[in-house]
Structure formats: structure tokens, C-alpha cells
Amino acid sequence: MPIPDFQTIMLPLLRFAGDKQEHSIREAVEFLGAEFHLTDAERRELLPSGQQETFANRVNWSKTYLKKAGLIHSTRRGYFQISERGISDLQKKPSRIDIKFLRQYREFIDGLKPNLKQDLSEELPIQNEQATPTDTIEAVHQKLQAELASDLLEQIRETPPSLFERIVVELLVKMGYGGSRKDAGKAIGRSGDEGIDGIINEDKLGLDVIYIQAKRWKDTISRPEIQKFAGALQGQRAKKGIFITTSGFSKEAREFTQKIDIKIILIDGEQLAQMLIDHNVGVSTVQTYEVKRIDSDYFTGE
């Protein structure tokens, strides 16, 4: 089944705490994972940032919202317990606990409002109540990244070949290949024959080399182009090659690389744009936002 949203988790989480015992958030994650019949893959699925498991993040946010409404309280770092209010609400046997349910409690409203003087009759500024704040931040970040990648790729396609070569050099050097930028610059673009655009050291010591083909194309790269590159590598007795393009590769082209002994890595336009963003090539940081949380250890004096 799909991973439940954080509101769907609220009632099962409160029921889990209904035994009035102290529980850790990890216990809750494990119990609720089984309760929702999540597979191991679903439990391990990460947020787009790759920093945290999606399900665990949603359980944490469910706990946070229940705590804001006074249905549970923290006993110590990473542990919680149901409150008298939580026990009372469970005894009423609600079919669902969600944001709408929690709005009956003033402390919940006050805990979410940016301005405590805001009229309680006004709607809370929650864009998508199925999404946790973390989900919202990650979704917006993904959208911005996708738009940046698209704009970046379009910009690269309009650059002259010489600039495209320099972009490839910059990226490979920042990824740890080619030694210095000067050495890499000498290697890229020096060949240009037999389907090879350049040669670059795999490591700074030059223990092995990688042959490169770079195509600033809009059309899909088909199998014959990859076969030509593979033939050029064989002619050089090379074992490794990278084929970089601003477009994409056909299914036949990708399948061909899986059937030959030579290792050829295919990098299409989308991957190229993402690599450039990840290694800060051709992009700059406009604004940085920090997401902070309470340091519980600070307040315990440990």
C-alpha cells in the first residue's frame, strides 16, 4: 500500500500510546509500519533529500501535531506518553483524528498560527493538509531544482562547442577526475578522431584513463553512435568510456552498453544538468534556508 500521510497516522499513533506506557518514536515507527502493512522497501523509502525515511518522518510529524493539541506529551528525548486528554479522546472512539479534529483545541490553533492575535475563525495557513511541513519544503525544492535543470540544459544547448567542452572539463574535475583543471583541459578535445573527443585521467595520479565522447545534440543518440564509440575504444585498447550528451539515448543504445565487455557510461541531458547542479558548475546559490530543531541535550544539561 502507499505510505500513509501524516494525518492518517494520527489515530493509529494515539491508539498505540493508549496503553499509557512510555514509548520511543522508533517503537512507534516499527509498530505502525506493521499496522499499515508496509513492505521493507516502503519503510526504507527516503525523502527526496535522501536525509530521512519518509514514513518515519511522517510518524514524527503526527506526534508533533498530537503534542501541540495536548493529546500526548514528551517524557524525555525521543520518548512520549499519552495524556489525559488523549485518553479521553480515545474513549470517544473517533473514526479519524486529523487537523480538523485537532482544531477544537486552542493550544493547537495557537501553536500553528504565525500571529497569535489572528481570529480563531480564520483558516490556518496550511496549503496542503495532507503534507507535512517537511513534505512541502521538499516538494518546493524539487520543483525549483527541476526548473533550474531545465533552464540549465536549454542554456547549454545554445552554447558553442568550445564552451561545452569547458563545461565538461569543469564538471569532471569537480567530480575528482583529470587531476588539475589545466591538465584536464589539455586532454579534453585534443583527439576528435575515430569517435573520441578527449581523454582524461581517471585519478589524479593518472593510473588509468577514460575516453570521452561529448555531443551537444537535441536529437536522441541511437545505437549506431554508441557502436561507433565502442569501436573507437577497442581501437585504442581502452576499457572505459563516457558518452555525454545534452539529449537522450534510445533504448537500443542503452541495451547495447549492457552487452559489451567495455564499460561505457551514458550521461543524458537530465543527468548532466543534475550533475552540474550538484557540483555547482554553471549555477550559483541565491539563498540558503536553515531548518533547525530543538537540541534536547542542551536543556537536560547532559
Confidence tier at 127 by pLDDT (50, 70, 90): very low
Which pLDDT value is given to residue 77?
79
Confidence tier at 143 by pLDDT (50, 70, 90): confident
What is the per-residue DSSP string for 273-289? HHHHHHTTSS-------
Give the whole-number percent of the chain exceeding pLDDT 90: 46
Cell digits for 1? Answer: 500500500
| 256 close to 226: Cβ distance less than 8 angstroms | yes
| 263 close to 241: Cβ distance less than 8 angstroms | yes
Alpha carbon distance 69, 88 (integer Å): 13
Give pLDDT tens digits for 30-53. 999 999 999 999 999 988 777 789
Give the whole-number percent of the chain exceeding pLDDT 70: 84
Give pLDDT tens digits for 85-121. 999 999 999 999 999 999 999 888 876 654 433 443 3
Cell digits for 222? Answer: 541511437
Cell digits for 43? Answer: 519503510
- Which regions of 187-283 does DSSP assign to beta strands (E)? 188-193, 196-201, 209-215, 240-245, 263-267
* The CATH number fitting domain 6-131, selected from 1.10.3470, 3.30.110, 3.30.1600, 1.10.10: 1.10.10
> Is CATH 3.40.1350.10 correct for 151-278?
yes
Cell digits for 186? Answer: 589539455
| 10, containing H or E segment | helix 6-16
Q: Which position has the higher pLDDT, 295 or 163?
A: 163
Residue with cell 561505457: 264
Task: Report in angstroms the alpha-carbon separations of 89 from 8, 17, 168, 235.
Answer: 16, 12, 61, 76
| 239 close to 271: Cβ distance less than 8 angstroms | no
Q: Which position has the higher pLDDT, 148 or 301?
A: 148
Which pLDDT value is given to residue 188?
58
The order of strands in the sheet holding 23-24 is: 23-24, 79-82, 72-76
Residue type, position 140, single letter: V
Helix, strand, or coil (residue 81): strand
**Which of these, 160, 165, 245, 164, lies nearest to 199 by C-alpha position?**
165
Give pLDDT tens digits for 184-219. 655 555 545 555 677 888 776 767 888 888 888 888
Q: Where are the domains of the chain?
A: 6-131, 151-278
Q: Once rounded to an integer, what is the mean pLDDT over residues 236-257?
A: 92
Residue with cell 574535475: 173
